[in-house]
Structures are given as structure tokens and as C-alpha cells.
Amino acid sequence: MVKAAPHFGLNESMSDLTIIILAGGKSSRFGRDKAFVNFNGKPLIHNAIELGKSITENIIIIANRDGYDDLGFPVFPDIYKDKGPIGGVHSGLVNSNSEFNFILAADMPHVTLPLIKYTIDKATINSNSVIPIANGHPEPLCGVYLKKAITTIEKCIKEEKYKMMDVLKELNSEYIDINTDSKFYSPYLFSNINTVEDLKNANRLMNED
């Protein structure tokens, strides 16, 4: 198992960490596999990998389509098929060898390293999950999940509770508020890419910067 690189202040209990990249589902609204569309000059999936590698080389990718095997990291499909994001989170935790795991959706290109570090540093061995919340909205696909959360997530799937908001309640998730007082705040931090228009807007924002 590859240990998390000591690039920043992980506490001792979090010495092993996996970045779990969710490559996306059916991309039905986008019309093609959006993980490979270009954002800021490179595919979205590459953007997520580079972000993850700035923390650790211990990265796995959850994908249900072909085309990910040449990216240099293990790729796993959903174990429970067609359940939405909960299936990706579940498969990521099952296939991770780490107690602490950061879930990162590949279609959230404005997520930053300071945000990830801040979220990770709020987690402890007593946590089930630590989730950023912005403008009153939790961001379940950009947060920390402990390995032990598998049991509760499997229970939710078997009870057909597929909505991530319901899962977070079952996990008694801890929330951290991200607001204008946060040094790394941006109104676009948690914006995701669902349509071609979303992609155009995201690239426009990067060009404006």
C-alpha cells in the first residue's frame, strides 16, 4: 500500500489516505463521457488526477466505461450497478486500502488543493464522513469518508435509499462550512459539469482568471 505523501499537515491517525476519483455515470445530459472532455487544456479526469497526486500517489478511479486503464491508477466499476453516485462511493471505499478516503468527482473542476487539505484535516478516526457545506448545500462528492462507512452505505443501498443526502444523514456526517470567510473561498468551488454549456462556462471562468 502506498502511504500518503507528507505534503501537508495530516495528523498521525491519517497517515494512510486514498483519493477516490469518481469518473462519472452515464453522462446522459452531456451526451458523451464527460471525464475526457477538455477543461483548461486537458481532460477533466486528468485535472482530478493531478489534484489528487499533489496529496498522494494512492489514487483509485471508479468508472463504469472503458478507456481508463491507461491512466496509471487502478480502475474499478460500481459493485451495485445503476444506483447513482452512492454506487461509486461504495465501490471506492470497498476497493480502498485506506482508513481515510477523499471522494472527488471528476466533473468538479474548480475544487482546489486548499479545500481538500482543509476538509481532510477536519477528519478524525471517530468520524464517519466529513462533508463541506456551501450556501446550505452539502457537497457529498467532495469529502472525506472513512472505510467503516461501508456498512451504513451498503445498508442504504439495500433499503433503496440512493440519495446521497439520505446517506449523509444515516452516517451522522460532520459538516464544515465553506463561506466567504474561508481563505480559499470561490463561488465556483463546487460547480460541476453536466452539460456542454456548463463546460463552456467553466472554461470561460478559467480564461478570465
| Distance separating alpha carbons of residues 196 and 182, to the nearest angstrom | 30
Does residue 82 carry a pLDDT above 60? yes
Domain at 110, CATH number: 3.90.550.10
Distances (CA, A) of 18 to 96, 118, 143, 181: 7, 16, 12, 28
The rounded mean pLDDT for the chain is 88
Total number of domains constituting the chain:
1
Q: Is residue 64 part of a domain?
A: yes
pLDDT digits (tens, 9 = 90+) for 131-164: 999 999 999 999 999 999 999 999 999 999 999 9
Q: Is residue 87 part of a domain?
A: yes
- Amino acid identity, residue 6? P
Q: Which domain holds residue 141?
A: 15-208
Q: Is residue 120 part of a domain?
A: yes
Does residue 172 carry a pLDDT above 80? yes
State phi, psi for 41 to the nearest 5 degrees.
Answer: 90, 0
Q: Is residue 6 part of a domain?
A: no
- Residue showing cell 464544515: 176
Q: With both helix axes pointing from N to C terminus, report the angle between 85-95 and 150-158 in degrees, rounded to the nearest 10.
A: 140
Does residue 94 carry a pLDDT above 90? yes
- Confidence band of 126 (pLDDT split at 50, 70, 90): very high
The predicted structure's pLDDT at residue 4: 41
**pTM: predicted TM-score of the whole model, two decimal places:** 0.88
More confident position, 176 or 199 = 176
C-alpha dihedral over 49, 50, 51, 57, to 10 degrees? 70
Q: Is residue 7 part of a domain?
A: no
pLDDT digits (tens, 9 = 90+) for 97-112: 999 999 999 999 999 9
For the segment 72-76, the average pLDDT, to the nearest whole number, is 97
Does residue 192 carry a pLDDT above 60? yes
Q: Is 66 helix (H, G, I), strand (E, B) or coil?
A: coil
Q: Is residue 5 part of a domain?
A: no
pLDDT digits (tens, 9 = 90+) for 28-39: 555 568 888 888
Q: Is residue 86 part of a domain?
A: yes
SS3 content of the chain, % helix, strand, coil (to 5): 35, 20, 50
Q: Would you tell me how many other CB atoms lie within 10 Å of the CB of residue 28?
A: 7
Q: Is residue 4 part of a domain?
A: no
